[in-house]
Amino acid sequence: MRNIKLVFSFDGSKFSGWQKQKNKRSVQETLENTLEKITNEKIKVIGCGRTDSKVHSINYVANFKTNSKIPSENLKKAINSFLSPEVYIKKVKDIPLSFHSRYDALRKSYIYLISLSKCPFLNNYALFFEREIDIEKIIEGKEYIIGKHDFSAFKGEGSNNKNPVREIFKIDIKKKRFFLDRDVKLIEIEIEGDGFLYKMVRNIVGTLIYTGIGKIQPSDIKKIIEGKNRKFAGPTACASGLYLKKVVYPKIINSPLSSLKGKNKKINEYKR
């Protein structure tokens, strides 16, 4: 039995999210169907976390177990040859059997793109926001979010997470120009944390946007977090501007010859 780690990118605008759903196209089902054709086995692919419909990924991580003897590099070529063009496998690697792409993750980072100019090339890949945004107010406000807090105020309806406590390590705000059209101005928000509640990143972004346009004062964010009430935070930013950038794991996982037995076995309840 082998445990295979996959790192891949996907265009979320073509899917109803990562998780398999009845009568809807998902990334998970697309991958499983492809792997079953190649290995002639029933395959279950474990993902590093759920993504909403229309959310994209730059480096999503998943793993699956198989008895197939196809070498990793050949497996990568085979998967990409069968996959639809909306998904591309970047890395395929044998990993210890105990590795779990979701429970072993130490931290994740997301990028959110806001376009300040209407651009047809970004219709499915950024939030178009035509009002002027004060970046300095966003930078001031994001400082209240960094740290370990109860993020109930940013939890989406329908969340089944029992523990709303998360730690945000950093939030970076950058102004950019769209590489295809230098007239198009972008705001890039990168958020890194040890884990995220359902729609938490999009709710943080919506709150920061409201801060940038003056509907919420930067200092109000501290009160919003302490109040633990979703209705006082900003709106949920649209899914199309969100990208999973990176997932970080313990260094020991990088060696296929090492064993995770007795190490990294503590699974935080809030990651379930």
Main-chain dihedrals φ then ψ at residue 213, nearest 5 degrees: -105, 5
- Alpha-carbon gap, residue 28 to 21, rounded angstroms: 9
Query: What type of residue is 116?
Result: L
Q: Are 28 and 87 in contact (CB under 8 A)?
A: no
Instruction: Using DSSP, state whether 41 is helix, strand or coil.
Output: coil
Q: What DSSP line would sit under 226-264, residue for residue?
A: HHT-GGGS-PPPPGGGEEEEEEE--GGGG-TTS--TTSS
Q: Are 237 and 205 in contact (CB under 8 A)?
A: yes
For the question of residue 194 being annotated catalytic, the response is: no
Q: Are 93 and 63 in contact (CB under 8 A)?
A: no
Q: Looking at the chain, which runs of residues are DSSP E strands?
A: 2-10, 46-47, 56-66, 87-95, 107-115, 127-128, 147-150, 165-178, 181-193, 242-248
Catalytic residue among 52, 104, 194, 220: 52
Catalytic (active-site) positions: 52
